[in-house]
Structure 1
Amino acid sequence: MNIKYLGLTTAVSLTLLASCKQKAQQNAAPPATPVAVTEAKKADAVYYDPFQGTVVALNSVELRSQVAGFITGIFFKEGEVVPKGKELYEIDRRKYIAAYEQAKANLESANANLVKAQKDADRYSFLLKQDAVARQTYDQAVAALATNQAQVSVAKAGVLSAKTDLSYSIITAPFTGRIGISQVKLGAQVTPGTTLLNTISTENPIAVDIVVNEQDLPRFYAYQKSSTDSTFRLQLSDGTQYNKPGKIFAIDRGVNNQTGSIKVRVEFPNDKDVLKDGMSGVLSVLNNESGERVQIPYKAVTEQMGEYFVFIATDTVAHQHKVMIGPRIKDQIVILHGLNAGDKIITDGFQRLKDGGKITLGAPQQQTAPGAKQQAK
């Protein structure tokens, strides 16, 4: 009987002892997590903000006729650079020459009538003083003189109008620039102000238009007053870098109240004719935050709900810190706020960490997962 109770007591004691050991193991602190650590350092961080840009000519004009007629002459090679004043198109001039000659003849006739009217007025004025003619006859002569003077003025205006129309029959280059492919051929009929003949535009210098938010305006106004050769960088659509420096040519007069944006035009030299009107590219603008900045490996940053965090190692404890990040520079990232140079940043092993977790320096990338151990067995 005593032996039975002794055996039962021993079994209960062993069970209680095993339970206590299990609870002790559960309540024991988790083991320290092996991590890799690096030091946050200040380094020169020069970075740019990208803006989608469009290449535009500083001066571009659509050529249209101001008189009607048929194209009778084309005096340029399509795609060439034409100097200012060069004749480009001729519109049938015959009727405009005839109109001009008629206007000159009308002026000559009006001048002849004016001479006769002037002599009549002078004669009747003399006779009136001699009381040899009626006052009414003299008044009629003076009125005729005034009428002929007005007719001369009308004839002069007619000559000027006809001469202008005649000059419009020859279309010349308004400035030195590259002319495009002709939109009309010989014999084509043109309508004043409607028919597009061609387009001519300047090439050197040339510009790139970008659209920026109104919050960036002070920055661009500052660059308008003073900028360096490295302030603006242009990348072409094929990925190549344009190696000429740019400067602000103009900032638009006002902000679009619907989009809150404004157009900025940046001028570039184009002596080798690389840039063409209408091309697209990316204009990189030097960021005001460039300079000596704290940088850490990009892989050390984690994102949570749109916010960014890193783990800082303090002795054997890891603390999570919120940071404001800047641009990425190769495998590094700029930290604008939240870290100081010299902080020990955990770069590997933080995936299993919580704020305040214990850490130990090690090689977390060599740690084998529990599941892998079971498979190995």
Structure 2
Amino acid sequence: MPEKLNPMKRVLLLTTIFISVMILAACKKKQPPVNPEVPVNLYKVTAKPVLYYDQYPSTTAALSQVTLLPQVQGAVTGIFFTEGSHVKKGQKLYEIDRRIYQDSYDAAVANRKVTEGTLTQAQQDADRYEYLNKYNAVAKQLYDHAVITLQNARSQVKSADQAVKTAKTNLSYAVVYAPFDGTIGFSQVKLGNVVTANSTVLNTISTDNPMAVDFVINEKQLPRFEKLQQNKHQDTDSLFTILLSDNSLYPVNGKIAVIDRAVNSQTGTITIRLVFNNPQGLLRVGMSCVVRVHNQEAGPQLLVPGKAVVEQMGEYFVYTAQDSLMNNPKAGADSAKNKIKKLVAVQKKVQVGQTIGANMIIKSGLNKGERIVVDGVQLLHDGSQITTANKVGPSAGGKGGR
């Protein structure tokens, strides 16, 4: 005979059976329909003229820049400029204690006078001995010594002349002048500082008008910029402009000055240098800005809302709305009306161009007049059934509807 269950085991068994029945009932609940229609908004692709700029991060640079180093040693005795100001070529900037160099110059001049006197005396002696030598009235040795003394005196004068030039040069180096027109920076030395020749940095001066703007492009774009450089007379206004760091537009247009000599083999890029006049000094060396290159493509462009474009692993896609015939689940198998027209999302690969605000230019992959999905893109895959029922037109201007 089977063993009789005690009350506790009986309760446990009933509870287990109850839970199993509930789980089974939950599994048999009606599943949601497969491939429901996704509500979307559509936009009809149109072509229209578009004004836009290709933009490149850039940095301002000086066409010429030099670090000022002293050519002589000594204490700084004078500073004759305002830091950060514009200076003119030849303007006096620094003075280094010139007393020792003045003394050296005076001594060199005095020594030259002595050698000139010695030369005069040697010339007179040589002339006298030469006259006497004609009549054999003087020893041959004395005449030879007089000629040699004259030659030595002439060499001493030349040496003294060079010493005077050197002393004069060192004296001139005691004053540092601006090598060209430009903006001078903060002084790296103060009054009384002792500087070392060709070592101590005094300051840096850079040209400020015109100003260079450097930016980097991909080597694939190089032919375009070479054509722009060769075409000296551009028909398009504002071909090269820059946006400053506060997003304001610099009021002067630029032009291509230099294309770097070589492409960087590691990055596949090359540097372009533009030149902008800077009459008001708004541009300073090292500023970050954005170069804008005016679009010169003629004809209308396909412009679509940017939210309609999906990026997948570096490629871009849109979903177009297309009508498709599908089986009608409400019609019988033998009914003549077993096919109905449904709206289906079809994924298409596109090549994108410049982004303009909330919109994006499509270079290829789409045709004028096609309808694309602009809202509800995240819920779609290729072949999804879509509907525009009870939807409001997107903000980009498209209208819902089939």
TM-score band (shorter)?
Answer: 0.7 to 0.9
Work out the CA distance in 1 between the residues paired with 2:381 and 2:180.
70
**Quick one: structure 1 residues 351 and 239, their matched pair in 2 at CA, closer, same or farther if it must change by over 3 Å?**
closer
What is the TM-score when the length of structure 1 is the normalising length? 0.79
Partner of 2:13: none
3-state SS of 2:202 partner: strand
The answer as to whether partners of 2:115 and 2:153 remain within 8 angstroms in 1 is yes
Aligned length: 340
Partner of 2:166: 161
Partner of 2:110: 105
- 2:217 pairs with 212, 215, 221, which one? 212
**Is 1:52 aligned to 2:60, yes or no?**
no
**Is 1:326 aligned to 2:350, yes or no?**
no
- In the TM superposition, 1:1-377 aligns within 5 A as 36-226=41-231, 227=234, 228-286=236-294, 292-316=300-324, 318=344, 319-348=346-375, 355=382, 362-364=389-391
Give the gaps of 5 or more residues in structure 2: 1-33, 325-342, 394-402
Work out the CA distance in 2 between the residues paired with 1:229 and 1:242.
14
What's the offset of the Cα at 1:203?
Answer: 1.8
Paired residue type of 1:261: T
What's the offset of the Cα at 1:54?
Answer: 1.8
What's the offset of the Cα at 1:229?
Answer: 4.4
The answer as to whether partners of 2:87 and 2:183 remain within 8 angstroms in 1 is yes
Work out the CA distance in 1 between the residues paired with 2:318 and 2:266.
39
3-state SS of 1:45 partner: coil
Alpha-carbon displacement from aligned partner over 1:200-228 (angstroms, at most 9, x marks no partner): 22222212222333333323322323355
Paired residue type of 2:252: K
What's the offset of the Cα at 1:166?
Answer: 0.3
The answer as to whether partners of 2:86 and 2:184 remain within 8 angstroms in 1 is yes
Alpha-carbon displacement from aligned partner over 1:211-260 (angstroms, at most 9, x marks no partner): 33333332332232335542222222222222221112223333344444
Segment of structure 1 superposing worse, 99-108 or 277-286: 277-286
3-state SS of 1:241 partner: coil
Coordinate RMSD, CA, aligned: 3.0
What's the offset of the Cα at 1:357?
Answer: 6.1
The answer as to whether partners of 1:313 and 1:345 remain within 8 angstroms in 2 is yes
Work out the CA distance in 2 between the residues paired with 1:111 and 1:94.
26
The answer as to whether partners of 2:71 and 2:173 remain within 8 angstroms in 1 is yes
The answer as to whether partners of 1:83 and 1:177 remain within 8 angstroms in 2 is yes
Paired residue type of 1:296: V
The answer as to whether partners of 1:71 and 1:185 remain within 8 angstroms in 2 is yes
Work out the CA distance in 1 between the residues paired with 2:181 and 2:147.
54
Alpha-carbon displacement from aligned partner over 1:317-370 (angstroms, at most 9, x marks no partner): 54432211112223322111112223333444666665566666644569xxxx
**Quick one: structure 1 residues 73 and 351, their matched pair in 2 at CA, closer, same or farther if it must change by over 3 Å?**
closer
Work out the CA distance in 1 between the residues paired with 2:101 and 2:39.
94
Paired residue type of 1:298: G
**Quick one: structure 1 residues 323 and 263, their matched pair in 2 at CA, closer, same or farther if it must change by over 3 Å?**
closer
Give the gaps of 5 or more residues in structure 1: 1-28, 367-377
**Quick one: structure 1 residues 321 and 79, their matched pair in 2 at CA, closer, same or farther if it must change by over 3 Å?**
closer
What's the offset of the Cα at 1:32?
Answer: 7.1
What's the offset of the Cα at 1:189?
Answer: 0.9
Q: Report percent identity of matched pairs.
A: 49
Segment of structure 1 superposing worse, 344-353 or 268-277: 344-353
Paired residue type of 1:330: G
Structure ranking higher in helix proportion: 1
